[in-house]
């Protein structure tokens, strides 16, 4: 697979709510918190879900206390479950399929997340052997999206995540390693590895963090304004309320829309090609 095809696949993984049966508003369990003002059990539709599966307070979610709704992103899993797995049949049309549909949704969401990571990895210039392995993983993951509900429910997702994670780590080390060789003659290797670091509230404004490994790092409310975050590996990092105003994430690695939606940014924040600028960010 060439780089452009991989980029197109990654860029295509966006939610189309018009083709979904309000699965994120129905399937998921919600606990009242700073992100949600209500409790809602899994499988029960939100009171704001309308008959056409639209949200009656969509334009005012944050003002109404539903911040979590503006953060969530299914990477297009909702419309695939609705239109492909269940062939356009809604849980409202046939309540008996509802339970199964709601169970399949988070599984499809995980599959789409893995597809997104694999496609992004293939968008980079990598050694042929690594590209071939990633391509095989991507093809297998894409084939999973075409399976029926029972087959999806029987999947052991960990069996797919583990080999992919190994390849993503190898991709990250290769891409970041090449950049580190170019930009660093002083820093030691350990200065670039902050995997699972606790940087909650850390002051990082204006710092050059290029090629740093921040996999699984806790970056909640970190001040990263105007920081250089190019080629930073953000897979699994917690960016809730991290301040990214003016930061350069144009070539950051393995970011998701949900991570960016949970952070703070502005019009000067530079984002990867596959990330949309959140509408709630400041101008």
Q: Residue 154: its pLDDT value, please?
A: 97
Which of residues 181 and 16 earns the better pLDDT score? Answer: 16
pLDDT band at 282 (very low <50, low <70, confident <90, very high): confident
What angle in degrees, to the nearest 10, is found between the helix axes of 98-122 and 158-183?
30
Asked if 191 contacts 210 with a C-beta cutoff of 8 angstroms, the reply is: no
156: CB partners within 8 A, 6+ apart:
none
- pLDDT of 188 > 70? The answer is no
Task: Report whether 222 contacts 206 (CB < 8 A).
Answer: no
Residue 96 pLDDT: 85
Per-residue pLDDT at 186 exceeds 70: no
Residue 125's pLDDT is what? Answer: 96
Q: How far apart are CA 269 and CA 211, in angstroms?
A: 18
pLDDT exceeds cutoff 80 at 184: no
Chain Cα centroid distance, residue 133? 22
Average pLDDT for 209-228: 97
Q: What sign does the dihedral 199-201-202-206 (CA atoms) show?
A: positive
The pLDDT-based confidence of 190 (bands split at 50, 70, 90) is: low
The pLDDT score that the predictor gives to residue 189 is 57
Q: What is the pTM of this model?
A: 0.95
Lowest mean pLDDT among 21-35, 171-185, 200-214: 171-185
Give 20's pLDDT tier (boundaries 50, 70, 90): very high
- Calculate the alpha carbon distances from 180 to 147, 191, 232, 271 in Å: 42, 11, 11, 21
- What's the rounded mean pLDDT across residues 186-203? 86
Helix residue ranges per DSSP H, 123-236: 128-144, 149-153, 158-183
pLDDT, average across residues 90-103: 92
Range 186-283 classified under CATH 2.160.20.80: yes
Dihedral Cα 77, 218, 185, 174, nearest 10 deg: -30
């Amino acid at each position: 697979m060439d780089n452009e095809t991989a980029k197109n696949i990654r860029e295509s993984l966006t939610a189309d709510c018009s083709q979904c049966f309000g699965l994120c508003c129905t399937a998921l369990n919600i606990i009242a918190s700073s992100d949600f003002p209500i409790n809602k059990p899994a499988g029960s539709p939100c009171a704001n879900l309308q008959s056409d599966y639209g949200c009656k307070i969509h334009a005012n979610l944050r003002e109404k206390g539903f911040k979590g709704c503006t953060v969530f992103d299914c990477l297009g899993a909702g419309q695939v479950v609705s239109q492909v797995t269940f062939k356009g049949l809604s849980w409202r049309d046939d309540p008996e399929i509802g339970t199964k549909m709601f169970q399949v949704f988070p599984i499809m969401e995980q599959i789409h997340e893995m597809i997104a990571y694999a496609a992004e990895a293939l968008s980079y210039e990598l050694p042929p052997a690594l590209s071939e392995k990633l391509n095989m993983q991507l093809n297998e993951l894409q084939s999973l999206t075409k399976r029926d509900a029972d087959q999806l429910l029987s999947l052991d997702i960990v069996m797919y995540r583990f080999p992919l994670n190994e390849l993503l780590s190898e991709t990250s080390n290769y891409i970041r390693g090449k950049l580190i060789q170019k930009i660093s003659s002083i820093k030691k290797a350990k200065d670039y590895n902050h995997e699972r670091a606790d940087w909650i509230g850390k002051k990082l404004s204006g710092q050059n963090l290029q090629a740093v490994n921040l996999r699984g790092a806790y970056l909640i409310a970190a001040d990263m304004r105007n920081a250089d975050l190019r080629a930073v590996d953000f897979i699994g990092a917690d960016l809730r309320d991290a301040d990214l105003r003016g930061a350069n994430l144009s070539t950051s690695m393995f970011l998701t829309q949900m991570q960016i939606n949970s952070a703070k940014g502005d019009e000067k924040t530079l984002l990867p090609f596959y990330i949309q600028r959140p509408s709630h960010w400041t101008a």
